[in-house]
Amino acid sequence: MRGEERVWKGLSKGQQTREAIVAQGLLTAAREGLGAISIGRLAKELRMSKSGLFLHFGSKEKLELAVVEQALVQFLGHVLKRAEDDQLRGIERLWSHCDAWLDFVEHGPFPGGYFFTGVFFQTAKQNGPIPRLIRGAVRNWIDALEEAAKQARAREEIKTDTDTQEVAFELNSILLGAQWSHLMTGRDYTNARTTILSKFRSWAAEEIPEKAFRSVKAWKVYLANRDGRAGK
């Protein structure tokens, strides 16, 4: 049975143990920050020997790096995957990225989702593998936003003179602000979504009727009908 499981998962026992260690480390880091990870603590939580755990990573730094790597894979996987799977384009893709980002901090595996934001702000000006990894992921994220905005501009969904880098920065700023407000006041992310739609309205080409931006529901109805009209 155990053997079968291993074959099914396609992972050696060593890889499985490594994954379990990273998963436990991620849980700790998400709750208490990256600094809270220690080989001793994880060994205790996983009922392993410290030397056994050490064998898998060799150093605390490598363990931290594996945890951050895993966190980033989950984050980027979640926020960019939906648009990819559904082959969304242009303004719909832009919306999907933002909506999935909010969904990740609302319902994702990290409580509050403040893990990256915190580590990013704390390490952005530092050197070393972890800051580099995080900067790279953040770069991927902002590039994905800008790319979708460029598509929207090419498809004439947003005005042809729109500054797409500015679009990416403004959307990201709304998301950060929403996360901050949630952490401070516990308010949900409804406001963030309507703020994003009002931004969309200010950028949108005249072809999109103004009422499409009035609420998240109206926006979804607009997208669905638009696809319908296109005979999809």
CA quadruple 55, 116, 143, 127: dihedral sign: negative
Contact between 184 and its own copies per CB under 8 A: yes
| Region binding its own copies by CB under 8 A among candidate stretches 5-13, 96-104, 170-178, 206-214 | 170-178
Contact between 158 and its own copies per CB under 8 A: no
Contact between 118 and its own copies per CB under 8 A: yes
Q: How many helices (H) and strands (E) does the chain have?
A: 11, 0
How far apart (Å, rounded) are the C-alpha atoms in residues 81 and 7?
Answer: 27
| Region binding its own copies by CB under 8 A among candidate stretches 6-14, 96-104, 152-160, 181-189 | 181-189
CB 25 within 8 A of CB 37: yes
How far apart (Å, rounded) are the C-alpha atoms in residues 83 and 88?
Answer: 5
Using CB under 8 A as the binding rule, the residues of this chain from 34 to 63 that contact its own copies are 34-35
How far apart (Å, rounded) are the C-alpha atoms in residues 60 and 165?
Answer: 37
Cβ neighbour number for residue 56 with a 10 Å cutoff? 19
| Region binding its own copies by CB under 8 A among candidate stretches 5-13, 70-78, 109-117, 218-226 | 109-117
Distance from the Cα of residue 167 to its chain's centroid:
18
The crossing angle, in degrees rounded to 10, of helices 50-57 and 13-32 is 100
DSSP, residue by residue, 85-97 = HTT--HHHHHHHH
Can you read off the two tokens belonging to residue 73?
Answer: 């894979």
Contact between 178 and its own copies per CB under 8 A: yes
Question: Site for its own copies (CB under 8 A): which residue of 114, 215, 218, 222?
Answer: 114
How far apart (Å, rounded) are the C-alpha atoms in residues 148 and 92?
Answer: 8
| Region binding its own copies by CB under 8 A among candidate stretches 33-41, 85-93, 95-103, 214-222 | 33-41
| Region binding its own copies by CB under 8 A among candidate stretches 12-20, 27-35, 144-152, 205-213 | 27-35
> Toward its own copies, which CB reaches closer, 6 or 214?
214
> Toward its own copies, which CB reaches closer, 9 or 187?
187
CB of 110 to its own copies, least distance (A): 10
Contact between 205 and its own copies per CB under 8 A: no
> Toward its own copies, which CB reaches closer, 74 or 181?
181
Distance from the Cα of residue 27 to its chain's centroid:
16
Whose structure tokens read 């026992």?
13
Size of the site for its own copies (CB under 8 A): 39
Question: Site for its own copies (CB under 8 A): which residue of 16, 126, 190, 225?
Answer: 126
Can you read off the two tokens belonging to residue 24?
Answer: 């436990």
Positions that interact with its own copies (CB under 8 A) = 31-35, 111-112, 114-115, 117-126, 135, 138-139, 142, 166, 169-170, 172-174, 176-181, 183-184, 191, 195
